[in-house]
Amino acid sequence: MDATILHADLDAFYASVEQLLAPALRGKPIAVGGGVVLAASYEAKAFGVQSGMSGRNARQLCPQLIFVSGHFNEYQRLGDEAIQIVSDYTPLVERISIDEAFADVAGCTHLFGPPAEIARTIRRRVRTELGLPISVGVARTKHLAKIASQVAKPDGLVVVDPVSELDFLHDLPVGLMWGVGPVTQARLAEVEVRTIGQLAQMPGQSLERLLGSAAGEKLAALSWNRDPREIKTQRRARSAGAQAALGLEPAEQRIYRPALRHLADRIGTRLRARSLSGRTVSIRVRFANLRAVTRSVTFDTPIATTIVLAEIAEGLVRAVLAQYPRERKISLLAIQVSHLAKDESVQLDLPLGSSVMRGAADRAVDTIRERFGRESIGYGSVVLNSRGSVPDAFRELAEQELP
DNA sequence: TCTGGGGTCCTAGGACCC
DNA sequence: TCTGGGGTCCTAGGACCC
């Protein structure tokens, strides 16, 4: 089998877009965001600045760091255009996020040349047409292609020849593997496993004892480059959620009620726009000490109505707070809706009643927003504009396309 | 290094059914 | 009164990814 899987990944995407838009920022350490670093340029990463980090910490690591507020619409547009360039060569494209996609070019090499040639063309076009650096990995499997693009960064191309796959793979650190994060890495380090080759040498049983059966089995297979995953052009959303960091607020109804309504509103709008609804509603409450508790309920009938979602969530939050009476402050609230299903005939067979009225009210709000914008009507963002909050535009970028 | 917001998948225990 | 085994679903928590 040939190496026909490409993994294309825009480098330090948000930061690169900012440097593209403002040439004065090129070559300088910059961070998108303010209170929180949403993205960092390579120059900033060299100082240890990472996304997710608080702005204060980032500034400590890199005093000359330049903060810029994001051009979120540009991220969406340029991300779409980059993926479009990949799609010019094959319909088998699996978009992973705004700035990253897999592609299988097996069926189009007769038109465009060998995979490595296609990868070079994509990189050249993204550079000349969009002005952005993109790294590409080419290999026989998705996992290896993804690792290859990481190794290729920044602004590089790595092609893994099928005859030397294991030579390439086995010297690399385990942290490059899909599914190995800080916890797994630490557990492996305890048994002196640091490279993928060392992982491959571990007996399957001890690996499964260390990491659990699913993870152990998966990593064992990946370490020998056995990756059964195929390119999925369509993926089905399994949940939709929203969360808000509150800074630190009293655990009182006047705080959590409007916050939950706002979150329920965000989720409800997205679900209804796709005719989706979900049977399970989960909430998450994080206390002052960052300990988080989740509660969920599952119903026979699916839900997508804002006010129903909000009321269920509020009930769950109240139950949590009653269970932890000593926790007087909360730092985060979240709602998730899962067990999603497409609504075929939403209200048709429901008896007339309050839920129908509520659904109608939601659709009216949805319509008004389509016409006049999201801010024109709805639940105020009362508590949500406090310290830790992030622009709505950024949230929208993070949302997965619901099918 | 105490950190935002969007997700996916896995595990372990318990309820319940056959 | 004590006892099996398999399967499915739900819940709570956690690891991981971008």
DSSP H/E element including A337: strand A329-342
Q: At residue A300, what is the residue type? A: D
**Is A208 among the residues known to form the active site?**
no
Burial of A128 (0-12, 13-18, 19+ CB in 10 A): exposed
Residues 6+ apart with CB under 8 A from A280: A296, A297, A298, A299, A337, A338, A339
pLDDT digits (tens, 9 = 90+) for A366-398: 766 666 566 666 554 444 444 446 777 777 777
> How much is the pLDDT for A402?
59
Residue A360 has pLDDT above 90, yes or no: no
Q: Which long-range contacts link A288-295 to residues 24+ away (Cβ below 8 Å)?
A: A288/A248, A288/A327, A288/A328, A288/A329, A288/A330, A288/A331, A290/A331, A292/A332, A293/A320, A293/A323, A293/A324, A295/A319, A295/A320
Task: Looking at mean pLDDT, say which of A85-89, A246-250, A316-320 comes out highest.
Answer: A85-89
Count other C-beta atoms under 10 Å from residue A256's C-beta.
23
A178 Cβ nearer than 7 Å to chain C strand: yes
pLDDT digits (tens, 9 = 90+) for A171-188: 999 999 999 999 999 999
Residue A233: inside a domain = no
The residue-averaged pLDDT of A275-284 equals: 94
Residue A345 has pLDDT above 60, yes or no: no
Q: Closest Cα to residue A398, out of A36, A54, A68? A: A36
For the sheet with A30-33, list strands across it.
A37-40, A30-33, A66-68
Q: Which of A103, A132, A159 is the last residue of a domain?
A: A159
Joined together, the tokens standing for residue A70 give 């994001």
Residue A331 has pLDDT above 90, yes or no: yes
Joined together, the tokens standing for residue A285 give 């409450």
Torsional sign, CA A336, A338, A302, A97: positive
Residue A85 has pLDDT above 80, yes or no: yes
Taking the C1' atom of every nucleotide in all shown strands and the CA of A57, the nearest one is B1
> How much is the pLDDT for A370?
66
Residue A65: inside a domain = yes
Bridge partners (DSSP) of residue A83 are: none
3-class secondary structure, A96: strand
Same domain assignment for residues A23 and A146: yes
pLDDT digits (tens, 9 = 90+) for A63-82: 999 999 889 989 999 999 99
Same domain assignment for residues A154 and A176: no
Closest residue to B2 (CA to C1') is A290
Same domain assignment for residues A263 and A151: no
Same domain assignment for residues A256 and A378: yes
Residue A310: inside a domain = yes
Bridge partners (DSSP) of residue A265 are: none
Same domain assignment for residues A136 and A177: no
Taking the C1' atom of every nucleotide in all shown strands and the CA of A281, the nearest one is C11
Count other C-beta atoms under 10 Å from residue A232's C-beta.
13
Q: Which of residues 107-166 of A touch strand C (CB under 7 A)?
A: 146
Per the listing, tokens 């989720």 go with A267
Residue A376: inside a domain = yes
What pTM was computed for the model?
0.88
CA–C1' A305–B4 (A): 26
Taking the C1' atom of every nucleotide in all shown strands and the CA of A186, the nearest one is C15
Same domain assignment for residues A137 and A179: no
Closest residue to B6 (CA to C1') is A398
Residue A269: inside a domain = yes
Same domain assignment for residues A21 and A145: yes
Same domain assignment for residues A127 and A171: no
Q: How many domains does chain A have?
A: 3
A403 Cβ nearer than 7 Å to chain B strand: no
Residue A230: inside a domain = no
Binned at pLDDT 50, 70 and 90, residue A347 comes out as very low
Taking the C1' atom of every nucleotide in all shown strands and the CA of A184, the nearest one is C15
Q: Which of residues 36-55 of A touch strand B (CB under 7 A)?
A: 36, 38, 48, 51-54
Domain membership of residue A245 as a residue range: 239-399
pLDDT digits (tens, 9 = 90+) for A13-36: 999 999 999 999 999 999 998 888
The residue-averaged pLDDT of A228-256 equals: 92
CA–C1' A202–B7 (A): 31
The CA distance from A30 to A346, in Å, is 48
Q: Spot the catalytic one: A100, A252, A344, A401.
A: A100
DSSP H/E element including A346: none
| Strand-pair category, A100-104 with A5-10 | antiparallel
Alpha carbons within 13 angstroms on the beta-carbon side of residue A359 total 20
Binned at pLDDT 50, 70 and 90, residue A240 comes out as very high
- Chain B nucleotides reached by a protein CB under 7 Å: 1-12
CA–C1' A213–C5 (A): 22
A215 Cβ nearer than 7 Å to chain B strand: yes
Same domain assignment for residues A263 and A128: no
User: How far from each other are the two terminal CA atoms of chain A, in whole angstroms?
Assistant: 32
Confirm if A246 and A333 have CB atoms less than 8 A apart: yes
Question: Which region among A134-143, A209-218, A294-303, A373-382 has the lowest average model confidence (pLDDT)?
Answer: A373-382
Q: At residue A92, what is the residue type? A: L
CATH assignment at residue A146: 3.30.70.270
Residue A286: inside a domain = yes
> How much is the pLDDT for A376?
60
> How much is the pLDDT for A379?
59
- Chain C nucleotides reached by a protein CB under 7 Å: 9-18
Closest residue to C12 (CA to C1') is A294
Same domain assignment for residues A330 and A281: yes
> How much is the pLDDT for A378?
59
CA–C1' A219–B10 (A): 14
> How much is the pLDDT for A131?
97
Residue A252 has pLDDT above 70, yes or no: yes
Q: Distance from CA of residue A304 to its chain's centroid?
A: 22
Q: Which of A159, A185, A206 is the last residue of a domain?
A: A159
> How much is the pLDDT for A401?
61
Q: Which of A128, A159, A190 is the last residue of a domain?
A: A159
DSSP H/E element including A383: none
Residue A356 has pLDDT above 90, yes or no: no
Mean pLDDT of chain A: 89
Confirm if A127 and A134 have CB atoms less than 8 A apart: yes
> How much is the pLDDT for A400?
63
The residue-averaged pLDDT of A189-208 equals: 94
Same domain assignment for residues A306 and A209: no
For the sheet with A329-342, list strands across it.
A239-250, A329-342, A276-287, A292-303
CATH assignment at residue A206: 1.10.150.20
CATH assignment at residue A366: 3.30.1490.100
CA–C1' A124–C16 (A): 32
Taking the C1' atom of every nucleotide in all shown strands and the CA of A398, the nearest one is B6
Q: Closest Cα to residue A287, out of A249, A315, A335, A241? A: A249
Residue A232: inside a domain = no
Residue A359 has pLDDT above 90, yes or no: no
Question: Which region among A203-207, A327-331, A357-361 has the lowest average model confidence (pLDDT)?
Answer: A357-361
Residues 6+ apart with CB under 8 A from A73: A393
Same domain assignment for residues A263 and A291: yes
pLDDT digits (tens, 9 = 90+) for A87-103: 999 999 999 999 999 99
